[in-house]
């Protein structure tokens, strides 16, 4: 789960990492009020879960509440690489002398926590890594031993100013604690700025929390539910359905992530465009099918549904009954193409055929099923 910048900053602040004072706004009026409260120049920042907002016009400086209002009008609704801006963060503008980069992340290959720091911040870190790899300091920490003072010294060895170095070490230590205690897989500050008077502060926040650990962090899990980027994704989560919205017209349901992804590919091969990626998981119980169909049918872009099941532990007859139960319970306005294979596939197909529902089409192979679903969606 990725946090929005302002959520990440709130988390940082709890660990003692200095951030600027700010407010959330969802309308131009709120942006104006926020700018008035904050006083002086403010930065108006798009809150979307993607980087490079600055270059995309999602980060602007306002010198007055009037200007904050006008910028909010420009930025709200802006599409930044597929993410529509619905929320802004306004904070007191900082004077910047230098921009650094600091992060704590999981190095899966090394089986360790990785701290990275460079004085060449502000730009994409991949660019620094490619163009001046020597400028990027990488320090591994054994998660069982924990962070030691020598790690911090190694990390900031290239910083000439002693006062600055001390602040960065304190921030790195706090960021490490934040990473560990929040069960994060990434805590990144880019840029970490130095102001003209020598104060170091986090100007941006990128935090990813390990989804599997969310039950241990109800406060963070709550953020996701209240601010879900897509209301349908939140609806799906409540029902334990894995659902990812795409922009085509064929709704996809599979059991297991691998099969669901292959189904997405097959729909593209058949000349169609997937409306979503929906994974029933290994179960495929009637309730699971009902929940998944409920989610998919709420997406107005869906014109047909391709239901692809490979029965292993999941039995196709049970899935077929689940489909019929679902059709009794919810009003589905689009046709479903079902491909059943594996355990009890024949029995499952017979159950569907006997039911004689005109909205349900049964297809024996994945490709034929996809072709039919694409045809029906056209």
Residues making contact with ligand GDP (CB under 6 A) = 43, 51-54, 59, 93-94, 96, 99, 122, 190-191, 203-204
Candidates 190, 249, 304, 344: give the one binding Mn ion (CB under 5 A).
Answer: 190
First to last CA, the chain: 35
Taking CB within 5 to 8 Å according to partner kind, which of ligand GDP, Mn ion, none is near residue 96? ligand GDP
- Residue closer to Mn ion (CB basis): 182 or 190: 190
Inter-axis angle of helices 345-355 and 316-329, to 10 degrees? Answer: 30
Of 104 and 326, the one with the shorter C-beta distance to Mn ion is: 104
Give yes or no for residue 103 binding Mn ion (CB under 5 A). no
Given a contact cutoff of 8 angstroms between Cβ atoms, the answer to whether 360 and 325 are in contact is no
Picking from 269, 227, 157, 166, the residue whose alpha carbon sits closest to that of residue 1 is 227
> Secondary structure of 56-118 in the HEC alphabet?
CCCEEEECCHHHHHHHHHHHCCCEECCEECCCEEEEECCCCCEEEEEEEEEECCCCEEEEEEE
Residue with nearest beta carbon to ligand GDP: 54
20 vs 308 by CB, closer to ligand GDP:
20
The one of ligand GDP, Mn ion, none whose footprint includes residue 94, by CB under 5 to 8 A per kind, is ligand GDP
What does 59 interact with, of ligand GDP, Mn ion, none (CB < 5 to 8 A by kind)?
A: ligand GDP
Q: Single out the residue of 204, 299, 317, 341 in contact with Mn ion (rule: CB under 5 A).
A: 204
Q: How is the chain split among helix, strand and coil, in percent rounded to 5?
A: 40, 25, 35
Q: List active site positions.
A: 101, 188
The stretch among 203-211, 225-233, 287-295, 357-365 that binds Mn ion (CB under 5 A) is 203-211
* Eight-class DSSP state of 196: T
Q: Shortest distance, CB of residue 68 to ligand GDP, whole angstroms?
A: 13
C-alpha radius of gyration, the chain, whole number: 25
Task: Using the minimum distance from each CB to ligand GDP, give the nearer residue, 190 or 249.
Answer: 190
The closest alpha carbon to 24, from 93, 91, 94, belongs to 91
Residues that bind Mn ion (CB under 5 A): 190, 204
């Amino acid at each position: 789960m990725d946090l929005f910048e302002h959520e990440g900053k709130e988390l940082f602040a709890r660990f003692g990492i200095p951030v600027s004072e700010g407010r959330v706004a969802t309308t131009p009026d709120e942006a104006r009020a926020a700018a008035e409260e904050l006083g002086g120049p403010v930065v108006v920042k798009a809150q979307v879960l993607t980087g490079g907002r600055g270059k995309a016009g999602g980060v602007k400086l306002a010198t007055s509440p009037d200007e904050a209002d006008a910028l909010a009008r420009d930025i709200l609704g802006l599409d930044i690489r597929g993410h529509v801006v619905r929320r802004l963060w306004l904070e007191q503008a900082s004077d910047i002398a230098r921009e650094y980069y600091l992060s704590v992340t999981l190095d899966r290959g090394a089986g360790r926590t990785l701290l990275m720091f460079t004085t060449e911040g502000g730009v994409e870190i991949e660019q620094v890594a490619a163009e001046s790899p020597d400028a990027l300091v990488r320090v591994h920490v054994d998660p069982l031993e924990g962070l030691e003072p020598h790690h911090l010294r190694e990390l900031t060895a290239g910083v000439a100013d002693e006062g600055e170095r001390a602040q960065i070490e304190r921030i790195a230590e706090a960021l490490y604690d934040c990473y560990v205690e929040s069960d994060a897989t990434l805590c990144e500050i880019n840029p970490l700025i130095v102001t003209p008077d020598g104060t170091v502060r986090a100007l941006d926040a990128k935090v990813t929390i390990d989804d599997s650990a969310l039950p241990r962090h109800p406060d963070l899990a709550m953020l996701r539910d209240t601010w879900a980027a897509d209301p349908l994704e939140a609806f799906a989560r409540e029902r334990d359905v894995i659902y990812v919205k795409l922009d085509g017209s064929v709704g996809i349901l599979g059991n297991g992530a691998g099969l669901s992804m292959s189904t997405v590919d097959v729909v593209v091969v058949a000349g169609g465009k997937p409306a979503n990626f929906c994974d029933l998981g290994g179960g495929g119980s009637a309730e699971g099918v009902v929940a998944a169909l409920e989610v998919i049918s709420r997406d107005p872009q869906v014109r047909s549904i391709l239901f692809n099941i490979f029965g292993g532990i999941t039995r196709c007859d049970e899935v077929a009954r689940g489909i019929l139960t679902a059709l009794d319970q919810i009003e589905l306005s689009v046709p479903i193409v079902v491909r059943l294979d594996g355990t009890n596939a024949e029995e499952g197909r017979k159950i569907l055929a006997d039911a004689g529902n005109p909205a349900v089409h049964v297809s024996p192979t994945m490709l034929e099923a996809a072709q039919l679903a694409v045809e029906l969606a056209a």
